[in-house]
Each structure stands twice: as structure tokens, then as C-alpha cells.
Structure 1
Amino acid sequence: MLSKGSQICIFKGKLRYLKDFLEDFVRSRGDHGKVKVLERQIEDSVNRAEDIVETYLYTVRSTAKSKNSRRKECKIFQEGLKQVIEEIDSVKKEAIEICGNPCDPNNLHSGRYLFGSSSWHVPSSGNPVVGLDNDLVKIKDQLTGLPYNLEILTIVGMAGIGKSTLAKIVYDDPLIVYHFYVRAWITVSQDYEVKNILIGLIRSVAQLTDDISAKYDDSEQHYKVLKDGINQLSDQKLAEQLYRSLKGKRYLIIMDDIWCNTAWDDVKRSFPDDKNGSRIILTSRLTEVALYVNSGSPPHHMRFLSVDQGWELLKLKAFPKQGCPLELEEIGKQIVEKCQGLPLAIVVVAGHLSKLSKKRDLWLSVADNVGSLVARNREQFLNIIAMSYNHLPHHLKACFLYMGAFPENVEIPVWRLITLWIAEGFLKRELGKSVEKVAQECLEDLIDRSLILAEKRTNERVTTCRMHDLLRDFCLREAEKESFWHVMRRHDLFFPEGLQNHRRLCVQSDIFSYAITEYSNPQVRTFLSSNFSTRLSFLSESVFALMGFRLLRILDMISYYFNHFPTQVLKMVHLRFLGLSTSGELPAASSKFRRGSGKWYLPFSKRSELPVSISNLVNLQILIVNWGWRENHCLPFDIQMMTQLRHIRLKGAVVYFDDLFLAETNRANPLVLSNLQTLLTVSSTNFSQKIVSIIPNLKKLGILVPKKNDEHPTNFLNYLSSLHCLETLNLSFSLQNEKSSTISQWNAFPPNLRALTLSGSHLPWEEMVIVGKIPSLEVLKLKDHAFSGQVWEPIDGGFLALKFLLLENNELEIWRSRSTHFPSLQHLVLRLCDALVEIPRGIGEIPTLQIIELYSCGHSAVRSAKRIHEEQQSIGNDDLEVRINLIASRIRSVVFFLFLDPMLVNMPHQQYLMLTLKFE
């Protein structure tokens, strides 16, 4: 009998052959129907092989057995794998009969080269806007004209016709921004909760971003508390809070995608009518909803695009950088006609065309298919998306279907999506590229095809994305049909029958409160959960034993809290992705944990550690743990054995390398974590050259300086110069560092550093000259008195590559600057800069500048921003955008609830402490 390794190699080789053969057939013939059955047979065989291999490995690693037992297990393994190899041979024979012999010259085709590869990237220009000029004029007149009474405008049309696009353009129009003192946007959707609508509007009004609330600094602690504690208010209290936030102000509210009358009835009393010209815009697919909301005024019905408008839209999307060849123009207009004027249909088809070779026969094929697919019926329209989906490479299909795991209208953090793709193993390895780079290119490819929407970009990189609801409907339908996902929706309270064939399960409901003992599936490989209840949910680690998860690769349960780190997960030896939240208690059996010495700077914090046995998870690539409190967590030295680790993100915790770990790094030949890309956040206390030497390929690093413990607390920074791959560095100094630090002796910056965040460092402004010398620096964020002093005077020759600058919470009063000081700046953000007198006029003269944002700054600084905007407009620069929000600085008092750790105050979980903050 062949050895286990030989059998696996044979199996992998046969799979690789079949995969390439079928992909070539689809590319050359475009016949997807013939290969669907074959793909399903191959998938079933692969799943059986995975079960055989991973069950064997689980048994070997997790249990101690006798020699005879192991021999028996090995025999079962080999016989099972041999049977699967025979199944693959049978599929191969059937594939050749259906598709033809690949060695036959008549069956060879150049189709391999007809489609752009997934790594080919055309920079996204966004969805162009065509045919809305008249709509814009009409809507803007209604918003800014008479009467002064509160008016409600409704926009109605089918899915994909451009309702939200029109509303968004109006919302961001400079005239509208200037006209309304307050603007807020909320997407309602079908599965809405009144509380979430109210909270969303309150946060939109107050502009409480995640970036503001994620602080180590007590001076901004109220933002975090407001964000967390507001969830505990009743609907009535929230409605009153929203009413007070809007009272006396001219406001514009957009309520996007309303599906029923009750959604309006539930919130309408929160909108005061002060007869000052306030307006509300509602978008809906249902005319009856629009008429119910405002029976006295007819809704604005979206029109389909004309052929000329549609052709203009298709050209802009399909040929973003060059004109359309004349021989394709006639066919292109035929395609537009068959899309029947629906913008989303045109954009999706154009995204597909942009990836095809510019050949007449390929475009004719698209034109022939579109005619039978496009209709105003929703179900038929989904088939348009299927055409683009069917032509995706296999790995992009999996990436696309994965989007169905995320809830409707939710912004998805790109880093999380990409790490999940990596852990799933979807991505093709490419020579000279990290798997993260390949994932980013796959995301851009899907965006270019108009299958995913880029929601936010920072420094030209997509940071959050989402999916149009129509595309998401298709995604869910296809994922269920292919048994790729089963998604438990928000209101599902029981596991349905027949889930044994699903390898991935996503729970978006609070089902654990009801049916935890009713489901067990040891074959599940991916388990994602998103708890959308507004209350905190705690789980016992027994949930894992009950559900029988032995072979999990991905476990993402960030939205639930465990009372302590659940040791049950340490038995899941195949885990590649682990995401958990815990309140930070040590388990009762604390002997399983190794204790260290030392304290962190918070007086009530306790010392706890990652379990030593986490080193059993040798396949782990991504570790994300959200601790309820900021603690000083030790990394066990055995983590060095976890050479597959790529990303470590600890929130509410700081890693302190214990003595045993440091001893291991001092060995002659310590193991190197060469795959590690992200490490957030570590303590500077014992950060050394030895630590740096075992993480040579790190790209993102966060360091916290707990307290001033020697004359040069920034000495550890000198070790970073050997991190040649480091691109992002976050440095936070604790509250005890209120005196000025210095980096004057630190000139050895990591050579490829692109993004730097400094927080609480209290450096003198004169030392900004040192930061300005970083040659590749593109993003600079200065938070919480990163620099101290009232005057900042930059000099020429620095910040040559800087594109994004954030100044937040400082005492700066006078900023003297010319356009030559930041020659490449594109985006300036000022937040909580109360003392700043004005933004230098020279900033407005920077030719690359696109956006200036002010949040909670003084009136003088706001006036200077408006003056810069007016000056630039007067000389024809209409591209500069100025965004101003003063709401947060005007709040007089805020009532919030702070969840308290029962270990600290001896209170049950459901009890809370109510506090009131008052500030000017």
C-alpha cells in the first residue's frame, strides 16, 4: 500500500489536473452547464478526502493511543483515501467524455488568454453618474426652496435604478452641505430594528467614528462610553435624544431603502418641525410606502436611462482609460438596449466587458445572452449577475460568495475580509507577492467588475467595502444552491434540518439563547457569528462541546463574550482563524496558565495570560482576541512554535513577553516567525533586538509605552530599523507620560515605513522635522497630545510623500505653513483642535489637496476652512471638498451606561452604572 504522503500527493495532482482542464474548457467554450455536475462531484470527493485526512490528524494529535490503535487508524485512513482517488479517476474519465480529450488539437483553444487574470488591476474610477442632471436640479430646488415647513421628499424606483445614488449625490453636493447645519444618513432595509435606526441617526449626527472612540486616553473616554453605553437606552430615550440633537437646527435626513410604513411611523416623532427649512428624503422600491409617508406630494419616480445615456455609462465603465473601438460601438449599443435602461444592469455588464479582450465575437456573445436575461422582474434580473459570476475564476467565485456571510448594508472591514479569505485558502500563491497582496488585488478585481462596492478608501487603499442588496440576494441564493454557506438570518431562532452538507455556517441571530443544544455538526469547517442584539451576550465555552466542532478551521465569534478564554477551542487543532471576545477572567483551573510578574499602568487591571496550550494550534494563521479590559497579557514562549501565524490582533490588551519567551529568543538558533505580518499591540517594557530578530517580515506593529521608566523611554525604537518590511507603526504612550519625550536621537526609521500613528507622546513640535525625514511616509496620525506646544512651523524639504495628515486633540494654536511643506498632501483631518486659530492659507494652495475635514474644532478654525474653500472656488478649483462638523463640541450633557466587569465591582452582568458627563 502506498504511504500516506504518496497518496495525498497523487490525490492533489489529479485535482490540479482536473481543475486546470475544466477552467480551460470553460474559458474556451463558455459552456458552464456541462461542468457544473462535474464540479459538484469533485467538490464532494474533496470534502470526503478532507474529512478522512483531518479526522485522522485530529485523532492523532488530540488523543493518546496504543500502537495497535494507531495502526488501525492508519489503515482506515489509507483505505479511505484510496477510495477517494478512485472516485476522482472516475470523474476524470467522465470529464474527458463530456468535454473532449485535452490532448486533441481540435479541443485546444486560446481562450486561456481571453480574460484578464485576477492579478491584473485597473484602478477603480468609481461608478460614473450619467443621466441624473434633471433629477438633481429638481431635488435640490425642493430641498433649498420654499416652504420653510418640514418637507418630506420620496424617491421611488426598482432595485438598481439609482435611488441611493441620486440621494448620495444630493447629500454630498456642496450647496446642500452649506445649506443644512446637520445632515444624517441611515439605511433602513427590510430587517430593521427601531433602536438601530435611532442609534444610527444619533451617531451620524454626532459623527462619532470608531477612530475617535478607540482610545487609551481618559480625555476621550466619554466617546467610547457614549458609543457602547447608548445601546442600553430605551427606544423612547433614544428618540428623545435624537429630537434634542435636531431641535432648532436646519437638518437634512436621508432614510434609504424603506420597505414598510411602520419603519416611518416608528421614528417620525423624532424629527422636530421648527419651520426653518428642514428636509427628509426617503427612498423606497414601493410606491405605496412613499405615498403613505407623504400623500400630499407625488414621489419622485426614477426613470430608466435612454440608449444614449446608457451607452455613455457603459463606455465610462468598460473603457475607463481609453475610448471604445469603433467596431464595438454598434454591439455595445445593442447590449445597452437589452439592459432596458437599468443603471445597475449596465454597470454590472460593463464590469464584465472590461475584463474581456476587445474582440467582436466575445461582445456578440454577451449581447446574445443579455437579451434573454434582462427583465424588470427581480428573479430574472439576478441572472445578469450570474453571467458575470460564471465567468469569474474559481478562486474569485469563492471570494465573492463569502460576502454573503456579512449582513445587509454593513460596511465590512477589508482587513477582516482578507484575513478570512486567507484562512479559507481561496487565494492563489504568486511568486514575489504576499498572500495579503494577492487578496487585495482580488478585492480590487471584484470592485472593478462592480460586484463589490468600495465604501471607504484611505491613501488609495480600500478600507471598508459592502455589497449592493441585489448582488447580495444573488450571492446568498448561489451560496445556498452550492451548499457554500448556510446563513442564519437575524430572526431565525432554530437550526433547520439538512445542514449536514454545509461546511460553512454563519449565524446572524441570537440563536444561542434558544437552540444551543439542538444542533451538532462535526463536519463544519467555518463558523462565523454576528450578534446584532443591542445587549451584551455572554456564552459558556460548553457551546463548543455541544456543537461538536472538532474540525473547525475558522472560528469567528467576536460579537459574543466569554467569561474567560475558552480552553475548549485549544482542542481544535485545525484552526487557522480564531476570533474571540472575553471579559478577561482567568478560568477556575488556573493551573493551566503560567503566571508572570509585573503590572500595567491601570490601577485596577489584573495580570492574565494566554493559555500555554495555545501552542497546540500549529495551523493558526490569524489570532484576534478582544479583552473586555486593558490587561497585560503574556505571550507563552511556545507561540514560537506556531510558525504559520500571520496576524495577531489583541484589542483591550497589551502583550508582555514573559521571561520564558525571552529565554527562548536568546537561544543560539531560535525559531523565526517569518510569516507574521501584524502584531498589535506589544509593551515596550522588554521589547528588544532579540524580539525583532524573530519577526523579520512584520508589516504592521503597535507598541504601547506603559510608563516612563528610564531616561530614554524611546530607546526601544532604535531596534525597529532592522524591520525592513515594516509599513505601519502605531506608538501609544500611557497617561503617565505627561512630560515631553524625545526622539531626537532616533534617526534610524524603518526604511519602508508608510504609515505612522503617534499618541500621547508629548513631543516638542521641533521634532516634527525628524518625522518629516521619513522618505516613504504617506500617512501620519498625531493623536492625544502627540506633540506639545502652541506653535508649529514646518520647514521645506520634509513630508515629500505625505498624502494623509490627522491632527487630533492637541494644544496647537498657531500653525504656520506653506504649500511647499506638504507637496503631496491629499487629505487633511483636524479633530478636537479647539485652540487652533486658523488653517494656514498655504494648505489650500497645495495642488494635490482634495479634502479638508474638521470635527469639533473652534469657530476660528472653521471660518478659516470656509475661507480657503471660497478662495479655491474663486480661482476655479471646484475639486477641493471641505467637511465641517461641530455637533460633538456643542453637546452639553450626555447620559450613558458603562458596563462594569463583575470581577471588579461584584455586580451581576445585567447591572450597569449610569453616569452623566458635562462639558462645554
Structure 2
Amino acid sequence: MSDGLLFMHLLHIHLNDLLDSNSYSIALIKKEIGLVKEELEFIRSFFVNIDQERYKDLWTRVLDVAYEAKNVIDSIIIRDNGLLHLIFSLPITMKKIRLIKEDVSQLPEKIHKNKSLIVVNSPKKPVEGKSLTAGKISVGFEEDTDWIISKLTSGPKDLDVISITGMPGSGKTTLAYKVYNYKSVARRFDIHAWCTVGQEYDKRKLLEKVYNQVTGADSKLSENIDVADELRRHLFGKRYLVVLDDLWDTDTWDKLIRPFPLVENGSRIILTSREMEVALYGKRNTDPLKLRLLKSEESWELLEKRAFGEKICPDELLDVGKETAKNCKGLPLVADLIAGVIAGREKKKSVWLEVRNNLNSFILNSEVEVMKVIELSYDHLPHQLKPCFLHFASIPKDNASHKHLLKMDWLNEGLVERTDMKSVEEVMEVYLDNLISCSLVISFNEIGSSPTCQLHDLVHDFCLIKAKEGKLFERIISSAPSSSSDLMPRKVTVDYYTNVFGIHNFVPFGSKKKRCSSKHLYSLRITGDKLDNSLSDICHLRDLRLLRVLELCSSMVKHSLLNEICMLNHLRALHIVTEIKYLPLSFSNLSNLESLMVENDKEDMVLLPGIWDLVNLRVLSMDSCSFLDMDTEEPILITENIKLKNLRILDRLMLSYSKDTVDIFKRFPNLQQLIF
């Protein structure tokens, strides 16, 4: 992992989670884990505050022994040469850590003597406060905004296409979103729909997304229904506004335009594209709008407002601030990212000069140079926020994430450190606020019931590169080896499609060497076409003992595979498709499980008595479930004081009223959401 502090932070969370576990394999070495965690945290706390390059050799030794400690501890837990590691490797590794700690403990005295030592700004911590996202600051483009609104609310009665073009980062989507949500625009149209297309898209899924927005439904249409025809039928006779965001070529336009009827009632389509050719191809009455770049004074206005709010910039920062704004080259994305960097740092000239000098080295006339600005913004993130940001790499480009589901993923995958001072929900809210504040994450529907967020496509490209470099995430889309490295990423998503893998050629972890390294995998998600019953042999789930998250969305989980899953006692989140009626007795092994999602179309799953073993469960969502077997008259036997105190959400419950059922609800004292 190229970012050493990020690795050390994730290791700290991992060791904390192990110490909280009651697993037998961990109990054998819990004392040793505690000592390793304490000494590595002492070492990490020193290097957080200084420039690691100053002590490069020592920092390299620290990372080497940290990697070694993680490998040894994990190998003992998963029983990969466990006895050998327990007797020999662990004591040797712990001795190395103690020696490094002694060396580090001598360094603070040297800091005072060596005046030339470069001390990085005080440890960057997430900043609390809703003021960070109180409202997206918009600068420039007032005339363009008024022009687009006039084209949407007046003009010819026949269907018109309003195209917005410009280079990456020029604000096309931001402007489209701004006018799309204007009250005068919203009142004008009967139907509104937004569709982000991107380079790689599934036509049917895109049209289904528009269809669901048009009809207010949230379900899949059966395969034999022509979505385009259904969509056209619902749009006919209505005045509609549809946004097709981020189109890349004319073929895509041809494929997507068929469902939109040429009615003469003032309907409009907003199209955004990097390519002027696409905009001209889709033109009907109105010429495309090519976005200009921000003027230097507009970039400075944005920076000043983000850094000081309603206050005025001090005179000592004025010159360096305006020069920094000028070096943004008029790109709104760059100006917004730089504004996010300086807004979260000290208002000192030396700090602003550092940002200006970094920006001076970039020539912002290509995507590569814009990537460097994104990296500058990323480098200034507190290390606690970096794994949460890099998690977006696992979300397909141009896909928005519901904020509550995103935070649930962060928690399940061990990306957030639990503290005594705040609840984990409060910590995650601060983290997300900070990522939005620094403009790396875009927030949508903040006022609505389903707030979402996503990344600009260039930011997503950067995020994916960084996550792969750090061995945090990999997407497997074919049976060919995906990496020459023997080290399996922390999280793997397999998009299984038979036309790519072949029916009998699905081996996501390849060679024997790769299979061994996959034992250290933390998160596995398999999507796509339906897999046959050989999944348990292919994936060797029984060996993935450190898995925290398992999603099997494309395979019917039978009893044999479920029993194998029940051996994964570090699971925090499980999402499966199954036909079973009862949770097996072996489910009691999953005492760390916090989120259980089951798709069980053919059977109503009976929750009792197995549900009581899942004492850490926070979310329980099933297609249908009941407390007891409605086909029998057997009484419910519940231990007197047993409760699921952590359960917050119970989804799709089928209820049969009885005195016993009423008593059951008393066992969920902190339930916040109940869905029937």
C-alpha cells in the first residue's frame, strides 16, 4: 500500500476489531494482539505529525514490520501455518516492533535540537459542524443559467434539446442539476427524470431508471416487456423534462431517444456531453451551449467564500489567494477542489503559499494535470477519511449512493474507527460532511427523503487508480488473471457473466498461490449471471475466515453453502439469495453479524429461535419473514431477559397477532424502523 499512514490506520481498526471479538482462535493471542496494537499506535502517533521522508529508513522499517505483524496475526487466525506462526513468527515480529519503538522513543528529543526539521501541520482531523455543507457555493454562469431556464420555460411547443458541452471539470452536470431543480422549471413540467449515462452503460437499466422516476415505481419490469414502449406510453401527452447526463457518442443518443415522444407541448431534454459532435447531433431548435471557463475574479470569489464565508480575506493573504485562483485556469472543478483544500487549513500565508506552489507546477490543459489537482486535494485529507473516500472506487462510475447505505458499508467493512466520545453514526456523519466540504464528493437531494452522493467521473477515475495501488479494491470481470501481484486486495467485486467467463470457467482467485492470498480477503461481492451449485467449491468460502462482508447476489445459497458461510465468524454483513425457511443452528457462530439481507422469494423465513444468537444485529431485511412458523401452532419459547438491543431496522415483516408476538417487540427496545 503506497500510503503508509492509511495502511497503519486500517491496521489499527482491524486490531481493535479483533480485540472486541470472542472467537476462539483470537482468544489464544488476544494479549499479543493488544501489545502489538499499543506499540504500533505509539509509533504511528509520532509519524502522523512529521514528514516521513525525514526519517525514511525508519519509516520503511515501521511499515515492513506492520505488514509482517498483520500477516502473522491473520495467518494464525485463519489457521494458515498457524502453529508455526504462533511459536516462531509472532515472538520475532513482536521483538522487532519493540526495537523500533525504542528507536522512535528517542526521536522527540531530537526534534527540539534540529531546527531544520520539517514539521507537517498539526494532525489533520475531520472538522465537525454542519456549516461545511450548509449550501453549495455557486459562482459564475448566471447568464448561462438564465438562458437555459428561458429555453426550458418558453420557446417553441415542439420537443427541444438543450445541450451543454465543455471539457471535463467545466461544470456541465452542476449547471444542469442547478436548472433542473429551479422552482420555475419544476412547476413547468408534469414529469421530471434524471439519467446519468457514462461510457459504459446498460440501455435497459437506464430506461428502467427513467421509467421508475416517471411512474413513481421502484421495481424491475419483467424481461418480456419492452421498457422503451412502456416509457413512451407513460410520457405521451405529458409535458416532460428529462436530463441525459454525460453522453459520449451519437450511437448512444440514437439508442436512448426512441422512447421520448415528439409531442408539441413544450417538453424538453437537457443533454450534457464533452463532445460537441454529440450536442450538434442531438440538436433540434436550440444551438448547444459551450461552457466558458471561470474568470480569475470568479475563481477568487469562490475561494474567498469557501475559506472565509461572509468575512473578508486578510490583506496578507490577498495576493497569494488571487494568484492561486488565477492558477486554477478557470476550471470550476479545480477551483472547487483547491477551495476545499484551503478552507480546511490554517489561514496563514505559509500554508497558502504551499498550495499555490503545488498548483503552479500543473499545466491544466489535460485530464492528467487535473488528476494532479485531485491528488493534491486527496493528500490533504485526514488519514481517517482516506479509506472512506477510496471506498467509492467499488461503486460503479456515475452511480449515486444513498447516504445511509454508504455509511452502512463503511461500518461493515471496518473503515471507521469506533470511539468512546461519539457514536459511530456521529463519526460517519462528520466524515461524510468533510468529504463533501472538500468537494471530492458531490451531494444530491440534501433536503429530500433519500439524500444521495457520488463522485465526478474524473475524481472516480483517480479514486479507482488509488484504491488499486493501495490494494484496497479490485473488480474482476473475466477469468484472466487480474493482477501479477500475489497480494489479494482488501475488497473484491466479481462481475460474473457466462459470455465472458464461460459456464465452467469461473475461478475468481486463480492459481493455488492466489487462492492462498485470498484467505486475507475482507470483502467479497459476486454479481451478474446466476451461478450453479458448484459455487462453494469454486470460491472456497470456508477458507475466507477474515471476511467481514459477503454479498452473493447471483447464486442461490443452499444449506451446504450456508453452513460453510456460518464458519465465517468475523462477518459483519451478509447478503444472500436463498429458499431456506429456518436459520440453521450454526448461525450462532455469526455473533459479529450487524447486517443481514436475505432475498427469499419462495419461503417466508422464520426468525425464531435463531435470530436471538445475532446479538450485534443492527439491520435485518428480507423479502418476507415472520417470527414464527405460521403453518404450525407451536408456542414461542423465549428466555426471560433476552433482547436484541442493537437492532435498528426490521424490514418486510409478516405479522400474525398473538400475545407472544406483542411480547417479542419488547425484545427490540431500540428499533427505529419497522416495515411490513
- Short-chain TM bin: 0.7 to 0.9
Q: Distance in 2 between matches of 1:152 and 1:119?
A: 43
Local SS of the residue matching 2:578: strand
The reply on whether 1:266 has 2:255 as its aligned counterpart is yes
| Deviation digits for residues 747-792 of structure 1 (CA, Å, limit 9, x no counterpart) | xxxxxxxxxxxxxxxxxxxxxxxxxxxxxxxxxxxxxxxxxxxxxx
Superposition pairs for residues 237-636 of structure 1, below 5 Å?
237-294=226-283, 298-320=287-309, 322-373=311-362, 375-457=364-446, 463-488=451-476, 492=478, 494-507=480-493, 509-511=495-497, 514=502, 515-517=505-507, 519-520=509-510, 521=515, 522-529=518-525, 531=527, 533=528, 540-542=534-536, 545-546=539-540, 549-557=543-551, 559-564=553-558, 566-570=561-565, 572-585=567-580, 608-629=581-602, 631-636=604-609
| Deviation digits for residues 316-347 of structure 1 (CA, Å, limit 9, x no counterpart) | 33334644334333322211111111111111
**Using a 3 Å threshold, how does the CA distance of structure 1 residues 103 and 127 change in structure 2: closer, same or farther?**
same
Q: Distance in 2 between matches of 1:661 and 1:551?
A: 36
Alignment partner, residue 150 of structure 2: 141
The reply on whether 1:207 has 2:201 as its aligned counterpart is no
Local SS of the residue matching 1:208: coil
Q: Distance in 1 between matches of 2:544 and 2:601?
A: 27
Say whether the 8 Å CA contact 1:636–1:660 is kept in structure 2: no
Q: Distance in 2 between matches of 1:36 and 1:473?
A: 30
Alignment partner, residue 190 of structure 1: 199
Local SS of the residue matching 1:129: coil
**Using a 3 Å threshold, how does the CA distance of structure 1 residues 257 and 339 change in structure 2: closer, same or farther?**
same
Q: Distance in 1 between matches of 2:41 and 2:526?
A: 35
**Pair member with larger Rg:** 1
Instruction: List runs of 5+ in structure 1 lacking aligned partners.
Output: 27-31, 61-71, 210-226, 586-607, 667-689, 733-920
Say whether the 8 Å CA contact 2:126–2:430 is kept in structure 1: no
Say whether the 8 Å CA contact 1:116–1:355 is kept in structure 2: no
Amino acid at match of 2:582: E
Alignment partner, residue 639 of structure 2: 665
The answer to which of 199-208 and 424-433 deviates more is: 424-433
**Using a 3 Å threshold, how does the CA distance of structure 1 residues 561 and 390 change in structure 2: closer, same or farther?**
same
Amino acid at match of 1:20: S
Alignment partner, residue 844 of structure 1: none
Superposition pairs for residues 763-912 of structure 1, below 5 Å?
none
Say whether the 8 Å CA contact 2:401–2:454 is kept in structure 1: yes
| Deviation digits for residues 192-231 of structure 1 (CA, Å, limit 9, x no counterpart) | 122122212212222324xxxxxxxxxxxxxxxxx22x15
Q: CA RMSD in A?
A: 3.7
Amino acid at match of 2:140: G
Say whether the 8 Å CA contact 2:207–2:228 is kept in structure 1: yes
**Using a 3 Å threshold, how does the CA distance of structure 1 residues 206 and 665 change in structure 2: closer, same or farther?**
same
Q: Distance in 2 between matches of 1:402 and 1:281?
A: 31
Local SS of the residue matching 1:266: helix
The reply on whether 1:730 has 2:637 as its aligned counterpart is no
Q: 1:650 aligns with which of 614, 621, 627?
A: 621
Q: Distance in 2 between matches of 1:370 and 1:610?
A: 57
Local SS of the residue matching 2:495: coil
Alignment partner, residue 79 of structure 2: 59
Amino acid at match of 1:529: R
Percent identical residues:
26
Q: Distance in 2 between matches of 1:661 and 1:428?
A: 42
Say whether the 8 Å CA contact 1:612–1:636 is kept in structure 2: no
| Deviation digits for residues 249-274 of structure 1 (CA, Å, limit 9, x no counterpart) | 33222110011221111122222213
**Using a 3 Å threshold, how does the CA distance of structure 1 residues 458 and 278 change in structure 2: closer, same or farther?**
closer
Alignment partner, residue 747 of structure 1: none
The answer to which structure has the higher helix fraction is 2
Alignment partner, residue 590 of structure 1: none
Aligned length: 635
Alignment partner, residue 8 of structure 2: none
Q: Distance in 2 between matches of 1:311 and 1:287?
A: 29
Say whether the 8 Å CA contact 2:193–2:243 is kept in structure 1: yes
User: 1:189 deviation in Å?
Assistant: 0.3
**Using a 3 Å threshold, how does the CA distance of structure 1 residues 458 and 185 change in structure 2: closer, same or farther?**
closer
Local SS of the residue matching 1:257: strand
Amino acid at match of 1:475: C
Q: Distance in 2 between matches of 1:541 and 1:10?
A: 39
Say whether the 8 Å CA contact 2:78–2:546 is kept in structure 1: no
Say whether the 8 Å CA contact 1:101–1:107 is kept in structure 2: no
Q: Which has the higher contact order (CA 8 A, sep 6+)?
A: 2
User: 1:709 deviation in Å?
Assistant: 4.2
Q: 2:41 aligns with which of 7, 11, 16?
A: 16
Q: Distance in 2 between matches of 1:494 and 1:248?
A: 50
The answer to which structure has the higher strand fraction is 1
User: 1:85 deviation in Å?
Assistant: 3.4
Say whether the 8 Å CA contact 1:561–1:580 is kept in structure 2: no
Amino acid at match of 2:506: I
The answer to which of 111-120 and 380-389 deviates more is: 111-120
**Using a 3 Å threshold, how does the CA distance of structure 1 residues 716 and 11 change in structure 2: closer, same or farther?**
closer
User: 1:294 deviation in Å?
Assistant: 2.9
| Deviation digits for residues 327-371 of structure 1 (CA, Å, limit 9, x no counterpart) | 333322211111111111111111122211222211121111112
| Deviation digits for residues 267-290 of structure 1 (CA, Å, limit 9, x no counterpart) | 222222133333222111122222
**Using a 3 Å threshold, how does the CA distance of structure 1 residues 203 and 423 change in structure 2: closer, same or farther?**
closer
Say whether the 8 Å CA contact 2:413–2:549 is kept in structure 1: no
Local SS of the residue matching 2:361: helix
Q: Distance in 1 between matches of 2:480 and 2:555?
A: 21
Local SS of the residue matching 1:628: coil
Q: Distance in 2 between matches of 1:146 and 1:246?
A: 20
**Using a 3 Å threshold, how does the CA distance of structure 1 residues 159 and 37 change in structure 2: closer, same or farther?**
farther
User: 1:35 deviation in Å?
Assistant: 7.8
Local SS of the residue matching 1:252: strand
| Deviation digits for residues 404-436 of structure 1 (CA, Å, limit 9, x no counterpart) | 111112222333332332233332332232223
TM-score (norm 1): 0.62
User: 1:561 deviation in Å?
Assistant: 3.8
Local SS of the residue matching 2:49: helix
| Deviation digits for residues 538-585 of structure 1 (CA, Å, limit 9, x no counterpart) | 665425644774233223315324243532543543533232222323
Instruction: List runs of 5+ in structure 2 lacking aligned partners.
Output: 1-27
**Using a 3 Å threshold, how does the CA distance of structure 1 residues 12 and 713 change in structure 2: closer, same or farther?**
closer
Say whether the 8 Å CA contact 1:130–1:309 is kept in structure 2: yes
Alignment partner, residue 232 of structure 1: 223
**Using a 3 Å threshold, how does the CA distance of structure 1 residues 452 and 272 change in structure 2: closer, same or farther?**
same
Q: Distance in 2 between matches of 1:537 and 1:231?
A: 20
